[in-house]
Amino acid sequence: MGRTQDTARGTGRLLIRRAQVFPTAARAARFLGVAPSAYLPPSDVPPPDAALDVPLMDVRIAGGRIITLSGRPLDPLPGEWVIDAGGGALIPGLHDHHVHLMSLAAAARSVWAGPPTVVDRSGLQAALRTAPAAGSVLAADPVAAADQDPGIAPKPGMGGVEGGWVRAVGYHPSVAGDLDRYVLDELCARRPVRVQHRGGALWVLNSAAIERAGVDSCRLPGVERDGAGLPTGRLWRMDDWLRENPAVPSVSLDLARVGRQAAARGVTGFTDATPGRGAGERALLVAAAASGALPQRLDLMRPEPGSHPARDRSDTGDRSDTGDRSDTGDRSDTGRPAGPGPRAGVGRRDDRGAGAARDARAEPDASPSRDGVPAMEAADGTARVTDGPVKIILDDDRLPGLDRLICRVDAAHQRGHPVAVHCVTRVQTVLTLAALTAAGPVDQRRFAGQPPSVGRHRLVGRHAAGSGDRIEHGAVIPAELYGELRGAGLTVVTQPNFVAERGDHYLAEVTDEDPASLYPAASLVRAGVRLAAGTDGPFGGSDPWAAVYAAVHRRTAAGRTLGGHERLGSAAALCLFLGHPGDPARLRTVRPGAPADLCLTSCGLADLLAEPSAAWVRLTLVAGVPIHAALA
């Protein structure tokens, strides 16, 4: 690229020529028969063959926003960077509506211990014993390491050890059964080892790690003990304790790597779904956004009002150790929530009650700035970092009563915040819907920063506009509840990638539900239920294009179809990642005045929909500024 073109590129003034623009407001209205600002049901998005008649357009961008769409060629203005799309598709940038950024960064520094690359006991032993020393490069080729997705297929043994420890993630019992200290001692006894179940709620330590960490003297209820009172090595929801334990070294986090990888996939925004996020953790994410390490827009879910999140820390910490506090959407392949449940007789941590220390962030405010950390503005004048719904975690083994859950929802609504409730089992979904139906609406006087439809559900055709409240994962949703979900204006944020990544285990092990009914999609949109998607990275593969492909095909790793009746068309599947951050099922369109958060592909729309893949991504813009460019 020459000096003149480089200078033009830095001005944020762009002219993209000959692009297949989709979806535009006009085409959305024509195809869907509703106003573009209303909910656009994915089932009504045109099929791939309709993409063939999408005309080529020129698109002018300035000041971080789309200025002009023209079916006629536009003359370049002085100082404009001109890009010839060559008939490539220009779509809104993808937004991952459910991801765990700190965990994703930490997973890249960990040994992968589960499928699809570690599938048996010998493979696990090799991965643990050959883990590189602290400070080692993650892979022989740094470029390959930067491109590796820790959520789906890392190399066996890839990762790192910090302070002599081996830290492994992604374990599933199909590899070597249920782990405890003695099994890990047989696999790797000479180094302290800790292995995280892929559900996120359970860490298992070997004897060396138990001794170094002082587990025997810890009296927290999450320490599982045998009949003699000795620790089994299994620690339940002990993430904060592990992170704050000076004997357990933290993992360095490379958020810039996460940002680069996502930008190369056309991702322009994340909703970080980590519950109970402390002020220090939020400050780290805001700082990463301010420095450009995370160039995407960030929407950060809030802790519950009155909750006691992790204490503020100035270092990076090991956020993956808190993971998502078991909010992974993983039914553990047995119908149990997020990892195998504690064994009989093992104490459990009590729910955080109203008497717990109040986090200042739970108090309402009128601006996107929280915790004294100002939110930055993008080039288009909009906030780069915003605060989203309040995250509520449910587990079947310690479900709150209905009245208690209603109080938790009301506490958020009264502060003007919608809620996002973790639901991976039937009972969780039924309880959540009952609580949301009974709770009061979001207080509009204190509600700020969301689309106008949020907080007042209304009907648009046969589809309800959003209430702002969300059901995360929606692994099991009884069909008889579809009408109530639609009427309440709830949005289900699902993970279609789990069907591809874990479907074979579901088929083999899920007995309490029909595996073909897990993570429903097409049936929801046919019923008018609002639907969007996130990857749940790193607990799922973090490539949204793989999730789009999975939603279209619903094929397992072994090639078996799981719930073919729930397949979505490719355009509908893509639209699951094209929603507004604050209203995930409300489709963003390419229109004048919209923020220039865009993804340009090297192929036309028909090819993109026929074979959705990150390999097509050519240019990614946030507020008109390139964050990834693969231009000739």
Q: What is the pTM of this model?
A: 0.82
pLDDT at 262 over 80: yes
- pLDDT at residue 485, rounded to an integer: 95
Encoded amino acid at 457, one letter: H
Q: What is the pLDDT of residues 359-406, one digit of tens each?
A: 222 222 333 444 434 456 777 667 899 999 999 999 887 899 999 999
Q: Which residue has the higher pLDDT, 148 or 28?
A: 28
pLDDT at 288 over 90: yes
**Strands 470-473, 419-423: parallel, antiparallel or unpaired by DSSP?**
parallel
pLDDT band at 11 (very low <50, low <70, confident <90, very high): low
- Identify the residue whose tokens are 């789309």: 66
- pLDDT at residue 239, rounded to an integer: 83
Q: Choose the weakest-confidence range: 2-6, 373-377, 389-393, 501-505.
A: 2-6
CA atoms 46, 52, 55, 61: torsion sign: positive
Average pLDDT value for residue range 262-287 = 92
Query: Distance between alpha carbon 291 and the CA centroid of its chain, in Å?
Result: 22
Residues 330, 196 contacting (CB under 8 angstroms):
no
pLDDT at 491 over 80: yes
pLDDT band at 330 (very low <50, low <70, confident <90, very high): low
- pLDDT at residue 332, rounded to an integer: 40
Average pLDDT value for residue range 345-353 = 29
- pLDDT at residue 250, rounded to an integer: 81
- pLDDT at residue 32, rounded to an integer: 41
- pLDDT at residue 591, rounded to an integer: 95
Q: Is 364 exposed, middle or buried (0-12, 13-18, 19+ CB in 10 A)?
A: middle
- pLDDT at residue 354, rounded to an integer: 27
Give the integer Cα–Cα distance in Å for 616 and 371.
39
- pLDDT at residue 43, rounded to an integer: 43
Give the integer Cα–Cα distance in Å for 408 and 52.
49
* Count of C-beta atoms within a 10 Å radius of residue 136: 11
pLDDT at 308 over 70: no
Tell which residue, 59, 58, 83, 84, has the closest CA to residue 73.
58
Q: What is the pLDDT of residues 51-65, one digit of tens each?
A: 457 899 999 999 999
- pLDDT at residue 305, rounded to an integer: 79
Give the integer Cα–Cα distance in Å for 443 and 415.
7
Encoded amino acid at 402, one letter: L
Burial 347-362 (b: 16+ CB within 10 A, else e): eeeeebeeeeeebebb
Give the integer Cα–Cα distance in Å for 361 and 417.
12
Q: Which residue has the higher pLDDT, 351 or 408?
A: 408
Peptide bond into 515 cis (omega under 30): no
Average pLDDT value for residue range 281-304 = 95
- pLDDT at residue 319, rounded to an integer: 27
Q: What is the pLDDT of residues 405-451, one digit of tens each?
A: 999 999 999 999 999 999 999 999 999 999 999 998 887 655 554 44
Give the integer Cα–Cα distance in Å for 608 and 616.
7
Q: What is the pLDDT of residues 562-583, one digit of tens each?
A: 999 999 999 999 999 999 999 9
Q: Choose the weakest-confidence range: 154-168, 377-391, 487-501, 521-535.
A: 154-168
- pLDDT at residue 30, rounded to an integer: 47
Q: What is the pLDDT of residues 122-168, one digit of tens each?
A: 999 999 998 864 334 343 223 233 344 433 333 343 344 444 899 99
Question: What domains lie within the chain, and their CATH numbers?
Answer: 3-92+595-629 (2.30.40.10), 110-244 (3.10.310.70)
Give the rounded percent of residues in the chain with a pLDDT score beyond 90: 63
pLDDT, the chain, mean:
80
Q: Choose the weakest-confidence range: 130-139, 171-180, 326-335.
A: 326-335
Residues 599, 620 contacting (CB under 8 angstroms):
yes
pLDDT at 21 over 90: yes
Give the integer Cα–Cα distance in Å for 323 and 550.
24
Most confident of 103-107, 254-258, 453-457: 254-258
Average pLDDT value for residue range 585-609 = 96
- pLDDT at residue 9, rounded to an integer: 56
pLDDT at 281 over 90: no
- pLDDT at residue 445, rounded to an integer: 57
- pLDDT at residue 251, rounded to an integer: 81
